[in-house]
Chain A
Amino acid sequence: MIRAVFAFYFALLAVPAGAQVQIEEVTSPGGITAWLVEDHSIPFVALDIRFQGGTSLDLPDARGATYLMTGLLEEGASDMDAQAFAAMEEQLAARFSWDAYRDSVTINAEMLTETRAASVDLLRAAITSPRFDEAAVERVRSQVLSIIAGDEQDPNELAPDQFNALAYGDHPYATPGTGTAETVAALTRDDLIAAHQQLFTQDRVFVGAAGDITPEELGALLDRLLGDLPQTGGRELTEAPWELSGGLTVVEFPTPQAVVFFGHPGIERNDPDFFPAFVLNQILGGGNFRSRLLREVRVERGLTYGIGTVLSLSDHRPMLLGQFSSSNNLVAGAIEVIQDEWADIATNGVTEAELEAAKLFLTGAYPLRFDGNATIAGIMAGMQQDGMPIDYIATRNDNVMAVSLADVQRVATRLMQPDALHFVVVGQPEGL
């Protein structure tokens, strides 16, 4: 009886719902653009500000400068030392957070409507006038050194780090954005100033805004916040080489459970086959229980707690990547299952049922993603960074639904390369 009811619900799904967010492109009087979703139901605004280039802009002799510089933005700016800045952020109940990734430095800001003017001034001071006081530099430097020391003892960091080192030659992608103990110890205040000047320019910035703000108010905010930054700057980066071939690298490390990082080159966002590849990745390792890898490695065999793959759109080398952990005595079996699935999809493609389930999941879940100002701001900044059109959200479900089995089989042959798939295993694996 219940089955009949479920069938009815399935039938409702013939047309996927569209996302209901309305994105407006706002250009400030000074010429800075942002994407805005205006919603006045809660009196605050969330901003996601991304400066493209990230830690990869580090000059070769100053690896880690961008990471350390980012950590110092809230540690004193303009006429405030670190404590004064922090006290002000608390007084305004503003929330700022800063992250440095290999393609961008991101700033997340949430500001109450009632304190917005002063909050913007405070954030502006951090972005345009960081002080890099000696005491603050040394304090944050020692924190970064402890993070690096921790990463060197963490198989979850060691596995991707080793993969990157083997894969990307002399490109910045090959080394951790944190820098190493040696490079960070050698960083000078001038290195931090140079990193700041390279990254914080108007031609590198993407802004997503959501919440209690009008387009006019956002325009003024953008000019106040970013208008004093130079128009251009920073070095141009080239494509990262791909120097790995298929196979397996073991890094001995004392741990009960090996960590495995694996992958090979992927597909560009502007490739005509992007949507078939996107759907294919969902079927392969999208992370839900329907995905091939989770089903075969976890559900059927109990060889891991979790496994997933991602179609990475990194600016300088798109990749198809995956990661999982598995006990040392089980990990060889898990890798064999992955290799078999990779070869099976490359040769035989996927089934019609898998394709339909993936399309239903992708299109049904998508409209639900836009839940909250901070989430929406982040999605919009990410879309701009990935070069997606402003109507991407409105057309994305149609694009997914248009993917045919033939499309997926075609892209599977091209994208899935069992012979190029490389695994880095950190641990004490048995039988590898």
Chain B
Amino acid sequence: MHIRFGLVIIGLLSWAGLPALATGEITEFTLENGMQAVVIEDHRSPAVVHMVWYRVGAADEPPGQSGIAHFLEHLMFKGTEILGDGEFSEIVEANGGTDNAFTSWDYTGYIQRVAADRLGLLMEMEADRMRNLVLDPAVVATERSVILEERAQRTDSSPSALYNEQLRASLYLAHPYRIPIIGWRHEMEGLTREMALDFYEEFYAPNNAVLIVAGDVQPEEVRALAEQYYGPIEPTPGLGPRVRPAEPPQIADRRVIYEDPTVASPYVSIMRLAPSRNTGDQEEAAALTLLAQILGGGQTSLLTRVLQNEEQSSLFTAAYYNGLTYDDGAFTLVNVPVPGISLEEAEADLERMIARFFEDGIDPVQFERVKFLYAASEIYAADNASGLARRYGTALTSGLTVADVQAWPDVIAATTIEDVMAAAERLFYDTHTVTGYLTTPTEATQ
């Protein structure tokens, strides 16, 4: 009964039938010094999210200084010529706000959330620390200990995190996406105050930054404040587009086996390089996004339906693809077999599912369902101004434009089954793989 009703529903709710939203009005402008800005309106609550994203991340670090982008992110809270150590966060908190920061391969971002009438204060302080950072050597030494503890907590204590670090370093032969964001431990131990300041002086500049303001604000008001606080900052001359070491042709499949006695559920991963979204050219990425959903993106996806439900040979399966990277990203299949099934069998199961995918093609009903899910996800996304702000920040530091972000739902909607099959052929037939096993030491399993 429910099923029949549902089929009627999907006939009624086409992509175009979804209503326009009352929130999420987007305005963009660029200051004379090159600082780009995006304003996302959401007048439902009197709050504002203020973010500054720098177009620099772990993939832009000098050789031998892995982790310096993230270390600098920590040090940005340690004071300027005007503010003391920790005072930035104290002032945000005293004004009823929260603040944080984040680092990825392609970007480093700083975020605060406050009542909308405090926006000017935040811009004043963020503009101050864009150029006026002051680092006490003792503070730097203590903070290096903190990032080493962070690595110990997030990576060194987690077999899965260590395994994925090794996989990534194998997937990219030359491109710096092979470097962990937190840094390799031995290089982190050697990071210095001078390295952080050199990195800071080169990359922290208005013409390398994106301002995102989301919440209960008017675009004209944001523009006036941005011109007042960020406008006077001199740009860094000569900052061109990022050019990282490129991948050579990948001509060999690779295997990574990582063993740890505390692995409870061994699993296999198969990774491939995959194109990312490029400005004006997002069709391939849209097809790969839908492919990941159809193969391993939910309960009705091929891997889940067959390996978990029908054959009951897997505990968990997934297909991952993230198109929001500056250079080429990755497409990953994962299979966690049930106890008693070896990783060799689990790997063969994944290969069998890929073969079956090409044999059976894509069920048109499933295809429409997946596309409808994407359309609906736009409605849910409008509920979260911070999420929308992150979406624009990530895109604009990954080589995309506001127009690309706004076109993306239409590009997804226009993607056909044939497009997805063609993208799948290029992905699975034309690339070499990195296949990884995360498992217990051989002795322990006998």
**In this complex, what residue of B is CB-closest to A299?**
B86
**In this complex, what residue of B is CB-closest to A366?**
B96
Q: A301-B142, A357-B90, A368-B113 are in contact. Are A43 and B379 (CB under 8 A)?
A: yes
Q: Is residue B149 contacting chain A, with contact meaning CB distance below 8 A?
A: yes
Assess whether A2 is in contact with B124, with CB atoms less than 8 Å apart: yes
Report the bound CA distance from A118 to B2 in whole Å: 7
Within 8 A of B (CB), among A62-110: 74, 78-80, 82-84, 86-93, 95, 110
Q: Is residue A242 contacting chain B, with contact meaning CB distance below 8 A?
A: no
Assess whether B95 is in contact with A146, with CB atoms less than 8 Å apart: no
Assess whether A153 is in contact with B149, with CB atoms less than 8 Å apart: no
For B46, give its contact among A9, A17, A303 (CB under 8 Å): A17
Contacting residues, chain A, for B77 (C-beta < 8 A): 289
Number of interface residues of A (CB under 8 A): 89
For A150, give its contact among B90, B117, B264 (CB under 8 Å): B264
Assess whether B376 is in contact with A139, with CB atoms less than 8 Å apart: no
**In this complex, what residue of B is CB-closest to A301?**
B142
Within 8 A of B (CB), among A1-51: 2-3, 5-6, 9-10, 12-13, 16-17, 20, 39, 41-44, 46
Stretch of A171-179, A309-317, A370-378, A379-387 lying at the B interface:
A370-378
Q: A91-B9, A93-B376 are in contact. Are A325 and B157 (CB under 8 A)?
A: yes
Assess whether A146 is in contact with B336, with CB atoms less than 8 Å apart: yes
Assess whether A371 is in contact with B97, with CB atoms less than 8 Å apart: no
**In this complex, what residue of B is CB-closest to A89?**
B299
Q: Is residue B121 contacting chain A, with contact meaning CB distance below 8 A?
A: yes
The 8 A CB mask of A340-368 against B (1 = contact, 0 = none) is: 00000000000000000100110111111
Q: Is residue B207 contacting chain A, with contact meaning CB distance below 8 A?
A: no
Assess whether A42 is in contact with B118, with CB atoms less than 8 Å apart: no
Q: A41-B44, A155-B157, A371-B385 are in contact. Are A79 and B152 (CB under 8 A)?
A: no
Assess whether B97 is in contact with A365, with CB atoms less than 8 Å apart: yes
Within 8 A of B (CB), among A279-328: 288-290, 298-306, 325-327
Report the bound CA distance from A135 to B308 in whole Å: 11
Assess whether B22 is in contact with A42, with CB atoms less than 8 Å apart: yes
Assess whether B156 is in contact with A257, with CB atoms less than 8 Å apart: yes
Q: A368-B114, A373-B383 are in contact. Are A91 and B6 (CB under 8 A)?
A: yes
Assess whether A146 is in contact with B264, with CB atoms less than 8 Å apart: yes
For A110, give its contact among B94, B96, B142, B380 (CB under 8 Å): B380
Q: Is residue B164 contacting chain A, with contact meaning CB distance below 8 A?
A: no
Give chain B nearest CB distance to A40 CB in angstroms.
8
Assess whether A367 is in contact with B46, with CB atoms less than 8 Å apart: yes
Report the bound CA distance from A157 to B409 in whole Å: 40
Report the bound CA distance from A330 to B148 in whole Å: 12
Contacting residues, chain A, for B153 (C-beta < 8 A): 257, 305-306, 325
Q: Is residue A184 contacting chain B, with contact meaning CB distance below 8 A?
A: no
Contacting residues, chain A, for B157 (C-beta < 8 A): 155, 255-257, 259, 325
Within 8 A of A (CB), among B136-150: 141-150
Within 8 A of B (CB), among A381-403: none
Within 8 A of A (CB), among B89-146: 89-91, 93-98, 113-115, 117-118, 121, 124-125, 128, 141-146
Contacting residues, chain A, for B18 (C-beta < 8 A): 114
Assess whether A139 is in contact with B309, with CB atoms less than 8 Å apart: yes
Assess whether B383 is in contact with A9, with CB atoms less than 8 Å apart: no
Q: Is residue A152 contacting chain B, with contact meaning CB distance below 8 A?
A: yes
Stretch of B230-238, B245-253, B366-374, B415-423 lying at the A interface:
B366-374
Q: Is residue A115 contacting chain B, with contact meaning CB distance below 8 A?
A: yes
Assess whether B376 is in contact with A112, with CB atoms less than 8 Å apart: yes
For A80, give its contact among B3, B89, B377 (CB under 8 Å): B3
For B86, give its contact among A112, A122, A289, A372 (CB under 8 Å): A289
Within 8 A of A (CB), among B348-389: 369-370, 372-373, 375-377, 379-380, 382-386
Contacting residues, chain A, for B98 (C-beta < 8 A): 288, 365, 368
Contacting residues, chain A, for B315 (C-beta < 8 A): 142-143, 146
Assess whether A257 is in contact with B152, with CB atoms less than 8 Å apart: yes
Q: Is residue B429 contacting chain A, with contact meaning CB distance below 8 A?
A: no
Contacting residues, chain B, for A149 (C-beta < 8 A): 264-265
**In this complex, what residue of A is CB-closest to B386?**
A371
Q: Is residue B27 contacting chain A, with contact meaning CB distance below 8 A?
A: no
Q: Is residue B23 contacting chain A, with contact meaning CB distance below 8 A?
A: yes
**In this complex, what residue of B is CB-closest to A21?**
B45
Assess whether B44 is in contact with A305, with CB atoms less than 8 Å apart: no
Report the bound CA distance from A39 to B45 in whole Å: 11
Contacting residues, chain A, for B384 (C-beta < 8 A): 371-372
Assess whether B382 is in contact with A42, with CB atoms less than 8 Å apart: yes
Q: Is residue B316 contacting chain A, with contact meaning CB distance below 8 A?
A: yes
Q: Is residue B300 contacting chain A, with contact meaning CB distance below 8 A?
A: yes
**In this complex, what residue of B is CB-closest to A144?**
B315
Q: Is residue B64 contacting chain A, with contact meaning CB distance below 8 A?
A: no
Assess whether A90 is in contact with B370, with CB atoms less than 8 Å apart: yes
Contacting residues, chain B, for A363 (C-beta < 8 A): 96
Q: Is residue A254 contacting chain B, with contact meaning CB distance below 8 A?
A: yes
Within 8 A of A (CB), among B309-324: 309, 312, 315-316
Residue of A93, A155, A257 with highest tally of chain B CB at under 10 A = A93
Q: Is residue B19 contacting chain A, with contact meaning CB distance below 8 A?
A: yes
Q: Is residue B414 contacting chain A, with contact meaning CB distance below 8 A?
A: no
Report the bound CA distance from A399 to B294 in whole Å: 52
Assess whether B308 is in contact with A289, with CB atoms less than 8 Å apart: no
Assess whether A84 is in contact with B95, with CB atoms less than 8 Å apart: no
Report the bound CA distance from A157 to B80 in whole Å: 40
Q: A42-B379, A79-B2 are in contact. Are A361 and B149 (CB under 8 A)?
A: no
Residue of B77, B97, B148, B383 with highest tally of chain A CB at under 10 A = B383
Within 8 A of B (CB), among A203-224: none
Report the bound CA distance from A372 to B386 in whole Å: 10
Assess whether B305 is in contact with A115, with CB atoms less than 8 Å apart: no
Assess whether A289 is in contact with B94, with CB atoms less than 8 Å apart: no
Report the bound CA distance from A112 to B12 in whole Å: 13
Q: Is residue A121 contacting chain B, with contact meaning CB distance below 8 A?
A: yes
Report the bound CA distance from A254 to B441 in whole Å: 15
Assess whether B264 is in contact with A152, with CB atoms less than 8 Å apart: yes
Task: Give 24 CB contacts A-B under 8 Å.
Answer: A5-B124, A44-B379, A86-B300, A87-B6, A87-B300, A88-B6, A93-B377, A95-B380, A118-B6, A121-B2, A146-B339, A150-B264, A289-B86, A289-B89, A298-B146, A302-B144, A357-B93, A360-B93, A360-B95, A364-B115, A365-B93, A368-B114, A371-B44, A373-B383
Question: Residues of B at under 8 Å CB distance from A?
Answer: 1-3, 5-7, 9-10, 12-13, 17-19, 21-23, 44-47, 77, 82-83, 86, 89-91, 93-98, 113-115, 117-118, 121, 124-125, 128, 141-150, 152-154, 156-157, 261-265, 298-300, 305, 308-309, 312, 315-316, 336, 338-339, 369-370, 372-373, 375-377, 379-380, 382-386
| A-B contacts besides A2-B124, A83-B299, 18 pairs, CB < 8 Å | A42-B22, A74-B299, A78-B2, A90-B372, A90-B373, A91-B7, A91-B369, A93-B373, A93-B377, A122-B2, A145-B339, A149-B264, A364-B115, A365-B98, A366-B96, A371-B47, A372-B384, A373-B383
- Ranked 7 nearest A-B pairs via Cβ: A364-B96, A302-B145, A86-B299, A93-B376, A149-B264, A305-B150, A150-B264
